[in-house]
Chain A
Amino acid sequence: NAGVMQNPRHLVRRRGQEARLRCSPMKGHSHVYWYRQLPEEGLKFMVYLQKENIIDESGMPKERFSAEFPKEGPSILRIQQVVRGDSAAYFCASGADSYNSPLHFGNGTRLTVT
């Protein structure tokens, strides 16, 4: 199954530590998106990347959060100095290089900050 792969599924970090979330897009997809979902809330767009380029990071907090999608390897969402408010489900999605294409989601990383 060449679906969107995310790891880890669950991540527990203490306040002040760093969290690194990984995402490998579906085979043939060159667009990667990160979304955050708080309990009982909708999906909030964070960042959109193509290989080696950040296309739109308008939904990502300016501080402590960064994202990359290197030429080789998975996309990484990095959260430095985590706080309790960062606890959420982080979903990665990938899409084809075509308008009108739906996004396909990975099974998410559930981050808990203690």
Chain B
Amino acid sequence: RKEVEQDPGPFNVPEGATVAFNCTYSNSASQSFFWYRQDCRKEPKLLMSVYSSGNEDGRFTAQLNRASQYISLLIRDSKLSDSATYLCSIAGAGSYQLTFGKGTKLSVIP
């Protein structure tokens, strides 16, 4: 099993739709979880941290399932500007270093 795995997509969804991505990880000792967004030929930008109890930021909701070792990102009311690649990243216990998934590509269509 790869360290961090994501469905590469692409996910093509209409404006206003709700879309969800999952990211599985192999190291059960992982402690820190984040979602990043990367636009074409740009740097990754932090979207949100993922907390054990789940957290929400506007239209975005992140959840952690430790038992099944995955994190998820839910986007409600998709906008055209949400089109990007979404990267999950994970750090092990006592580690500063983040391991990234290959990303899931989202295209929001008018």
Binding site for B on A (CB under 8 A): 31, 33, 35, 41-43, 45, 48, 56, 89, 91, 93, 95, 99-108, 110
Contacts and interface: CB of A to CB of B under 8 A. Distances in A.
Contact of A106 (B41, B43, B49, B101): B43
B95 to A, nearest CB: 7
Residue picked from A100, A102, A110, most chain B C-beta under 10 Å? A102
A48 B43 contact: no
A6 B45 CA distance: 15
Contacts, number: 56
B31 A100 contact: yes
Given A42-B101, A102-B32, 15 more contacts: A31-B96, A33-B98, A41-B102, A43-B44, A45-B99, A45-B100, A93-B98, A99-B91, A99-B95, A101-B96, A102-B89, A102-B98, A105-B45, A106-B43, A110-B41
29 contacts: A31-B96, A33-B97, A33-B98, A35-B100, A41-B102, A42-B100, A42-B102, A43-B44, A45-B97, A56-B97, A91-B44, A95-B96, A99-B32, A99-B95, A100-B31, A100-B49, A100-B91, A101-B32, A101-B96, A102-B32, A102-B46, A102-B49, A102-B89, A105-B44, A107-B42, A107-B43, A108-B42, A108-B43, A110-B41
